[in-house]
Each structure stands twice: as structure tokens, then as C-alpha cells.
């Protein structure tokens, strides 16, 4: 009974936090309705699971890096990062191909360098900087 109460309380707090527009970036917990909705948006109609390497959400924007897995847990494709936006209560994947390329930054979304992040923020106004991972050195 205590376990159910804790789960229900966690879900309620997660919903309240996502509905109220958080003041800071957060990582949706594994199994949360928010994380599930984000992964469902990536999944489309496929019956696939994801290994989540990185996920952060803030103000209706999400940066997530995943690898799709089959039922045995083996990678089915390369995967990679995605930008999502919460629109009318549903997560929508944004087309990162519309972000201008930077010749000084050949990795683009794969490394999320400061230049790439600036270009994303110009292409998609309102994207908070704090959802992106720190670039590797």
C-alpha cells in the first residue's frame, strides 16, 4: 500500500511540475508519464524500446539522445539526439536538418557545441540553453 501511495504521489508531482512550467531543467524519471510521452513521440508507430543516453526537459522543450533497441535489447539503428517541443499537450519532434551547419563544428547535434546550440536557439526561438549536454572536450 505504501509503495502505491509513493508511486501515485510521484506521478502527481511529476504532472504538476510539467504542467506548471518548471523554473529549471530536469530529467524526467524512468517510468514517468512525461518520459514515456517523450519516447512515444520518437517511437511513432514502431514497436521499439530505447536506451536513453541523455534526456533533459525545460519549459516545454526536450533534448534527448537515444538508441533504438529490439526486444532482445540489441541496437536496431544508430539513434542519436533529438529536439522535441510540447505543442497542444503532445511532444513533437523538431527537424534538426533545418539548423544551419557550422563549418567549424562538423559534429553538429552529435556534440551540441556552443555554436550548434546557438544555431538551434536561433532556429527554434524559446529553446532553453540548459536542456543541452555540456560539449565534450
The per-residue pLDDT for range 26-36, each reduced to its tens digit, is 999 999 999 99
Q: What's the number of domains the chain is made of?
A: 1
Supply the range of the domain harboring residue 21. 2-131
| Res 6 pLDDT > 50 | no
**Within-domain flag for 136:** no
If pLDDT is split at 50, 70 and 90, which confidence band does 7 have? very low
**Within-domain flag for 87:** yes
Q: Which residues of 64-95 are buried (b: 16+ CB within 10 A; e: fewer)?
A: bbbbbbeeeeeeeeebebbbbbbeeeebeebe
**Within-domain flag for 83:** yes
**Within-domain flag for 91:** yes
If pLDDT is split at 50, 70 and 90, which confidence band does 124 have? very high
Task: List pLDDT tens digits, range 40-69.
Answer: 999 876 788 999 999 999 999 999 999 999
**Within-domain flag for 22:** yes
Amino acid at each position: 500500500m505504501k509503495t502505491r501511495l509513493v508511486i501515485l504521489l510521484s506521478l502527481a508531482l511529476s504532472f504538476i511540475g510539467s504542467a506548471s512550467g518548471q523554473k529549471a531543467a530536469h530529467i524526467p524519471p524512468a517510468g514517468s508519464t512525461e518520459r514515456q510521452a517523450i519516447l512515444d513521440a520518437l517511437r511513432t508507430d514502431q514497436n521499439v524500446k530505447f536506451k536513453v543516453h541523455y534526456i533533459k526537459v525545460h519549459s516545454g522543450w526536450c533534448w534527448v539522445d537515444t538508441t533504438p533497441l529490439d526486444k532482445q535489447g540489441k541496437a536496431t539503428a544508430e539513434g542519436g539526439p533529438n529536439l522535441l517541443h510540447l505543442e497542444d499537450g503532445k511532444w513533437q519532434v523538431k527537424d534538426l536538418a533545418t539548423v544551419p551547419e557550422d563549418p567549424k563544428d562538423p559534429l553538429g547535434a552529435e556534440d551540441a557545441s556552443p555554436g550548434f546550440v546557438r544555431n538551434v536557439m536561433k532556429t527554434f526561438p524559446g529553446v532553453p540553453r540548459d536542456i543541452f549536454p555540456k560539449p565534450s572536450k
